[in-house]
Amino acid sequence: MNTQSSKFPQCSALLLIALATGPSQAEPVVVVNPALASKPSTDEIKAVFLGQATTLPGSGAVQVGLPKEGKLREDFVIAYVGKNEKQYKAIWTQLIFTGRAQAPKQFESEDELKKWVASTPNGVGILDSSKVDASVKVLPTK
C-alpha cells in the first residue's frame, strides 16, 4: 500500500475543515478612555449599555459608542447584555422615545469607534479584542 496516497484524503479533509471554519474571531471587549480611573463592576457596565445608568464610578456622564451593525455588536449584545439585537433596539427605542436616554453614538468602523473612545474623556464602547491598543483601556466584563 502506498502511504503517500493514503494520507491525501486525510490532509484534504483537514484542509476543508480549516477553510469551512474560517479565521478565528476575537471576542468583543468593553473599552473606555484611559483617563477613567475606576474599575466598574460588570453590573455597572451592563447598566450603562442598557441605558439604566449614565455614569460609571469615578466619571461624569458617560457617552456610549457602538458599531452601527455587524457580528461584533450582535455577539456583544447577546453575551454581555443578555438580549438579542431586536430586543436591544427595542429597549433603546423606548428610552429615546420617552426622553430617558440619548441613543448610543454609532460608528461605521471599529477604527472610528476606537479613535472616538480614545479622544472622549468619558467614552465607553466595544471593540474586537484584536483591535485594542494603548489608546483605550479594556474593562473586565466577566
Q: In this predicted structure, what is the pLDDT of residue 14?
A: 35
- The model carries a pTM of 0.78
Q: In this predicted structure, what is the pLDDT of residue 60?
A: 81
Q: In this predicted structure, what is the pLDDT of residue 1?
A: 54
Contacts of 113 (CB under 8 A, 6+ apart): 65, 66, 67, 107, 125, 126, 127
Q: In this predicted structure, what is the pLDDT of residue 110?
A: 95
Q: In this predicted structure, what is the pLDDT of residue 49?
A: 93
Taking the chain (142 residues) in consecutive chunks of 10 residues, what is each chunk's mean pLDDT?
51 36 68 87 92 86 92 93 94 94 93 96 94 93 68
Q: In this predicted structure, what is the pLDDT of residue 78?
A: 92
Q: In this predicted structure, what is the pLDDT of residue 61?
A: 87
Per CATH, the homologous superfamily of domain 25-139 is Periplasmic binding protein-like II (3.40.190.10)
Q: In this predicted structure, what is the pLDDT of residue 9?
A: 47
Q: In this predicted structure, what is the pLDDT of residue 4?
A: 55
Q: In this predicted structure, what is the pLDDT of residue 131?
A: 94
Q: In this predicted structure, what is the pLDDT of residue 104?
A: 93
C-alpha to C-alpha distance for 39 and 58, rounded to whole angstroms: 9
